[in-house]
Structure 1
Amino acid sequence: MKIAVIGSTHAGTAAVRNMAELYPEAEIHVYERNDNVSFLSCGLALYVGGVVKDPQGLFYSSPEEMKAMGVHVHMEHDVTNIDTESRKINVTDMKTGESRTDSYDRLVMTTGSWPVTPPIEGIDLDNILLAKNFNQANTIIERGEKAEHVTVVGAGYIGVELVEAFQQAGKKVTLIDGVDRILNKYLDKEFTDIVEDDFRSKDIELRLGESVVRFEGGEHVQRVITDGGAVETDMVIMCVGFRPNTDLLKGKVDMLDNGAIRVNDYMQTSDPAVFAAGDCCAVPYNPTAGHAYIPLATNAVRMGTLVARNIMKPQMRHVGTQGTSGLHIFGMNMASTGLTETSAEAMGLEVKSVTINEKHRPEFMPTSEDVKLKVTFDPNSRRLLGAQVISKADVTQSINTLSVCVQTRMTVDELAFVDFFFQPHFNQPWNFLNKAGLAAFEQPQPEHAQ
């Protein structure tokens, strides 16, 4: 069996390591454009901010490790074409320029994603940077040392983490987003208001609800022009989202409208010889029972591992995802899973929610922090669909618990009486998750749900 793996960050690395262990007789070839594998891009802002001192800690594998497992590793090789009918790929050695054709019995597509670069006038000016891979992180650090004012375009996770890193480095920072609030894909307004107020208290300029019209400058960017005014700046980092790297398979396998590859429960595409995992494909999304594009490292490593389990024959199903994620910004801990009211509304789905404000542990303890928790559920079946939490105390593991609840189709009323321990160091006699269930239980219910 000859297996070709295209791309080796989270999903590709997980697939390769597991396949090499499970199928030592297989001939595994990895094709990677970069000169490294397995870079944890979710640690990019920590590296830029100096929290991570040794960048080697952000790599959890290496070409040498893969070669020691018997894998044929082709670094700095670009796959330029895939012929799914003849099961052949065209490959170019990026160092020598030489091209060749290789064959496969099974193809694993783990090409990941790439930052979106809108066609904005002046976007090619120097010091307008992307934030995705290790080399880009090094460029940001190098250029950031000389910059006095940094502008971040895009208020998702990476964008706000970079804002924190540069503010703590003593830079003046402006954050721009076309939506009227930050982190809108993960949290509802009552949560993002808290974070935005904290940003403003730290003299971070928020230009929300503004779209970038053009960039101005000589060789280097000097000014960002939005539909709301101008920002004088030394450096711009674009963080407006990611698109799946799937052009090689366009028209050859089923995809979502955005180009994300559809896979079945066993990570198989519509072509039985082609498997896909990670940021290049859509994942089964439990809150809606459909597919969604959720580029997270956690999804990628799980899917890559499942590819290895299923590449010879279907034997382990994907249980689906809730898109669970968390963030630590300026001492505030926040996390979410599943549907928010915002995302449900965007999908045209009707949901109900309950929000509670509690102390994370008894007030007779030396410290007791505020906790805001919001739980979203189906108004008819009462099934849990999502949750969000924010606190100075680290209670984010509660969202992992609620992720399991969503996955197993628990109702919000059952949540009220789940067995959680009590110990004053950690929580209250009634856990705040129970209290969310109780609050929902007290709301009027449809007759058939009672």
Structure 2
Amino acid sequence: MKFRRSAAAALGTGATATATLLAVIGGSVPATAATPSPSASAALPDGLYGTGDPTYDGVWRQSLALLAQRTVGVWPARESVAWLAGQQCTDGSFAAFRADPAKVCDARTMVDTNSTGAAVQALAEIGGHEARVKKSVAWLKSIQNADGGWGYSPGGATDANSTSVVIGALAQAGETVPDVRRNGRSPFDALAKLALPCTGEDAGAFAFQPDTKGALVANADATAAAVLGMNGETLAVTRQGDAGSAPACDKVPADEPEQAGDNGAAWLARALAEDGHLTSALPGAEDQPDYGNTADAVVALSSAHLDDQAAVPLRWLEAHSADWAAQAGPAAYAQLVFAANAARDGDVHDFGGRDLVALLNATGPAPESTDETGTAGQSTDEDREDEKDKKDDGGGLSTVWAVGAGLLVGAIAGFVLIGRGRKRQRP
């Protein structure tokens, strides 16, 4: 089954042409990029990963990079964590990028759920910044739609990708996802409404959103996201072990969201069976491989215990993704790290002869440490409060810690550690 993913389906209506090109070709921005934030300055901020314009994906790519580093035992540079934390608005939300973090967020600041959800996952994983994570979670809860889900922008129509990113953020922050409800409806209820029935060739797939006529059209990007969402997982998951053949699509009971996730995974397995990769198409252009969505599909299949089905696309990525990742940058390397770490036969240090960890690290500041057992000098909210108390009491901070405390006014946390297991949440 060859899957054609159009730019409109990938990004939803209202996205700019530039964001569309970045998402479909580069694979480095969320599935629903909105109108751009204020343009970035010519000089990139200290601590930011990648060399491309961060206007559309600064927070997203930073969050994925930090999560991927923690997944493989790397403690990121403190300035890279500080940059991400410093992007947070006072109400807890995040925009795709704020060129001047010192400027207070206002009604013109285009905050979104994808950037906020990704940042929560990253900051919570790194740890030590519960206050900031709690504030972001409160903001996400405050804008939950009446159907239980989330759109890209506050108040926007629910879509599968945004809802799934937020589910991962809630789970990583310690929330009981089925209990996060609006009008009695949970995030799982919202995703269930976007699942195609168990009939026809697209049985079990998920739509991004209903189309203009209310019909559900299968979307690989949305399906990969929804598989994780229905299982209460973040963008990074643990190796689950192989369950053998892909299950047949089965009717989803209201109290078993995991069955809907299994249905979506079975559809992905069929979609990948022909070519070993997913395919995207831009209007007027020839079909081309969709590297980012293929990597996301590997993670989704592995999360559903379908390692045998994930093996072929994993091998395809090993053989063909080098140029794409080098061009797309840190988020692309992070997606490959997620895929290699989640799949049974993946190796992040030998991915088609490449060391994904070294390549990812090279896109940002040198890591503090590669020792997973230590904190590598990372500061936390509590650390800075203690240092402030000492200063108030007459104790002097060293120059290093004074600078570090000033930089880290934003906090640290992180995306889900792929190598760390987490039980699925059921309603």
For this structure pair, what is the TM-score category when the shorter chain's length is used for normalisation? under 0.3
**TM-score (normalised: structure 1):** 0.25
Q: Which protein is richer in helix relative to its size?
A: 2
**TM-score (normalised: structure 2):** 0.26
Q: Which protein is richer in strand relative to its size?
A: 1
